[in-house]
A and B are shown apart, each in its own frame.
Chain A
Amino acid sequence: MPPPGPYEAPARRRHPFRDVRLHVVSGKGGTGKTTVAAALALALASGGHKVLLVEVEGRQGLAQLFDSPPLPYEERKIASGAGGGEVFALAIDPEAALLEYLELFYNMKRAGRALKRLGAVDFATTIAPGLRDVLLTGKAKEAVSREDKSRRLGLAYDCVVMDAPPTGRIARFLNVTAEVAGLAKVGPVRGQAESVMALLRSPRTAVHLVTLLEEMPTQETRDGTRELRSQVFPVGAIVINKMRPPLLPKSELARARSGSLDRGELAAGLKEVGIDAEPELLTALLEEAADHARRVELENAERRALADLRRPSYELPLLTDVDRVDLGGLYRLADLLRAQGMVG
């Protein structure tokens, strides 16, 4: 068997998200959706594009990822892509978004302050149903359609990438604007809600789901896909994150699983390189091999289940930094997404 090389990306595919302007990245907790969203933004920025990366959960995950101080409610350049590309980041704060919205659309700066004093802003952003989510998606929509005459195509950003709520909540999060449209039968709120829904349900949006090849995340990915489809949101890619390459050749996996690897051959091999092949060591190593084989087998089963979703899928390796994924790691993931054709 040749020694396993560096992580190998699956074969290149034509990039299917060429026309997408809003990339919504969701995933079960712990799957690394923030990391994938950031890598996707870097990948999209290469070739001189300008990309806005937004986070909506108020936990400053992007600042931590890019090792920057907490992001204010302001679009800030956070990284450069190849060929003069730029990634800007924004942590959307619902309260600031509401005040901005009032000022922008109603010229009501003073009213905003009055609302704040009354506790209405707090009510709108924390207690009132869905309004918070409406503000978050509304802001993303604003960034997608913002104009900038000085740029090619006249748009401020070529793409917007959203680090969205987890898979279990994503359909509800996206749909809440439709609910508000249902609540407000007339008026400006309804108009705004309808234009946001039009974007979210169009081919200009793609909802990507990040998963691991483990039971619960793939189950959630399947449930999430079904939910998104039933509410007519465009499901984009499945991104399988934190992959660890198989370390046993296929022929040995089944034997390792059933505990019938050649103990004598292992002992001889160890002896050859001067490792004392004590029986306890041999047993422990064979157990580790069996564990590994079980994991690979499960991963394969999960991968097959994900293939049934009939969405393009991309795989990213586990980065093993102790601190956090560093910028170098993010560029590496971005390259892998490009190499696999998620971004062209």
Chain B
Amino acid sequence: MATGLEGVFLQHRAQLLRFLQSHGAGEAAEDLLQEVWLRAARAQAGPIAQPLAYLYRVANNLMLDRHRSQRQAAIRERDWSDATGATAPGRSDEPAGERVLIARETLAQVQATLAALGPRVEQTFRRHRLDGVPQRQIAEELGVSISTVESDLRKATSALVKLRSTWDEG
């Protein structure tokens, strides 16, 4: 029910605003809080078990999306101003172009990076991030503790972030 979610939103408004500010929202925080509410209300289908956690989740995703689009805008700008930049004026809005190229050249690198961490780490990461299986369930499936699952995910994420950082230098 919208009134229930709205009540929770209004009651925790200040807390959610602080969360956005800590996320680096700056002066846009109030606007972003409105965006959180719009997204949350739009996406809501049926009762929500933990409305506050849900609102935090929406806010967190919003800030991640915002970071991503700012970053892509910065890349486009760099390419525009870069004399040797390959981005042609008519094609600069083609969002998939860059990614497809990277995919073709680097998928093997990503696979190798994960494989090098060992089968359990790789499988844990794939189960969680590709299949969307919660960490607790993965722990049960593999017969390991939840902290092992977390540690495996940290290893995988760390290796992938490190790999990604080596590509940024071009």
The answer to whether A and B come from one shared complex is no
Which residue numbers of B lie inside 8 Å of A, CB to CB? none
